[in-house]
Amino acid sequence: MPDQDPKLQDPQQQHAHPDTEGEQISPPGAEDSVTSAMESKPDHGEDSYQGTGKLRDRVAVVTGGDSGIGRAVCLAFAREGADVVISYLEGEEDDAQQTAELVEKSGRRAVLFPADLRSEEACQALVDRAVKEFGHIDTLVNNAAYQMAQPGGIEDITTEQWDRVMKTNLYAMFWLCKKSIPHMPKGSTIINTSSVQAGSPSPELLDYATTKAGIANFTKGLATMVADKGIRVNSVAPGPIWTPLIPATMPEEKVESFGKQTALGRAGQPIEVATAFVFLASPESSYVTGEVLGVNGGE
């Protein structure tokens, strides 16, 4: 094997596997800051991501932007020159404010919008706020999601949980796309967060995996539908990424082994996913639409 080029990094070692042993926190929405409650902090790119102006003066709406992948996307977009409307679940003000500060320290505007997107009215209000603040929307990122593992199987999935997962993950995406498209000029982009679960569903995540497969299919269909409007629609499908959603919604034994099954042998970090969103939002991907881009460590 040739000597290691100092300009290259071993992807197995580029980010350390998080110390997941015993890591458990309250679900998002249950306390002021889920990120600060984590012992092994996710990497959102605070100290590493450097922008090059790929999204200069764009306007982006990012749902679920308070923590995890959403926070990393907001940070990366801002450092690429975009202003960001950050939608987050009510009760997560501390995390959302931290994300807004990262955006503003990057020299861009951050508009915070607390909302439960399970209602059509809340989705309309989010779009109205973005248009009021900036006049249009250049990139819509449908990232907000809810999951709750049920190791006991389908018998343990209540109708209430099923409804919450479907409305958070699918209905909100549908409503936001429908209401945003009239305000999106040619060259705009929609990016939906799917998951490796779309094609390889874990039994304990049946409802969540079902929505992620639906997101991938919706993305492909909508891409064809709006191509003549000059709007591209794509999806990012993360694998095991270390975010507050994991220790908050999965049993301890699953958390401890999280990500070790991948070819790279570790969980990914939010910033490693955010770069895919930047690519799909930027002109560099101008001939890419209707695609699902996997960021999964080779799982």
For 41, half-sphere exposure in the C-beta direction (CA atoms, 13 angstrom radius) is 10
pLDDT exceeds 70 at position 50: yes
> How far is C-alpha 284 from the geometric centre of its chain's CA atoms?
20
Kindly indicate the confidence band of residue 296, based on its pLDDT and cuts at 50, 70 and 90: very high
Q: What is the mean pLDDT of residues 234-260?
A: 85
Which residue of the set 49, 88, 146, 208 is catalytic?
208
CA–CA distance, 215 with 234 (Å, rounded to integer): 10
Reported in sequence order, the residue ranges of the chain that DSSP labels E, i.e. its strands, are 59-63, 83-88, 110-114, 139-142, 189-193, 232-238, 292-295
Whether 208 sits among the annotated catalytic residues: the reply is yes
Kindly indicate the confidence band of residue 1, based on its pLDDT and cuts at 50, 70 and 90: low
Query: Considering only CA atoms, which of 249, 176, 245 is closest in space to residue 215?
Result: 176
CA–CA distance, 60 with 138 (Å, rounded to integer): 6
Kindly indicate the confidence band of residue 38, based on its pLDDT and cuts at 50, 70 and 90: low
Domains of the chain: 53-295 (3.40.50.720)
Q: What is the mean pLDDT of residues 175-200?
A: 98
pLDDT number for residue 252? 79
pTM equals: 0.87
CA angle in degrees (0–180, nearest 5) for 247-250-251: 100
Query: Considering only CA atoms, which of 87, 85, 96 is closest in space to residue 33?
Result: 96
Please state, as a whole number, how many other Cβ atoms lie within 10 Å of the Cβ of residue 263: 12
Kindly indicate the confidence band of residue 145, based on its pLDDT and cuts at 50, 70 and 90: very high
pLDDT exceeds 70 at position 4: no
Kindly indicate the confidence band of residue 16, based on its pLDDT and cuts at 50, 70 and 90: low
CA–CA distance, 28 with 33 (Å, rounded to integer): 8
What Cα–Cα distance (Å) separates residue 283 from each residue in 54, 138, 261?
A: 8, 12, 34
pLDDT exceeds 80 at position 46: yes
pLDDT exceeds 60 at position 294: yes
pLDDT number for residue 21? 56
Kindly indicate the confidence band of residue 32, based on its pLDDT and cuts at 50, 70 and 90: very low
Strand order in the sheet with 189-193: 110-114, 83-88, 59-63, 139-142, 189-193, 232-238, 292-295
pLDDT exceeds 50 at position 31: no
- b/e map of 132-167 (b: 16 or more CB within 10 Å)? eebeebbbbbbbbbbbbbbeeeeeebeeebeebbbb
Reported in sequence order, the residue ranges of 66-180 that DSSP labels E, i.e. its strands, are 83-88, 110-114, 139-142
Exposed/middle/buried for residue 201 (C-beta within 10 Å: 0-12, 13-18, 19+):
middle
pLDDT number for residue 52? 97
* 146 within 8 A of 164, measured Cβ to Cβ: yes
Average per-residue pLDDT in the chain? 91
**Residue written as tokens 């409503």?**
175
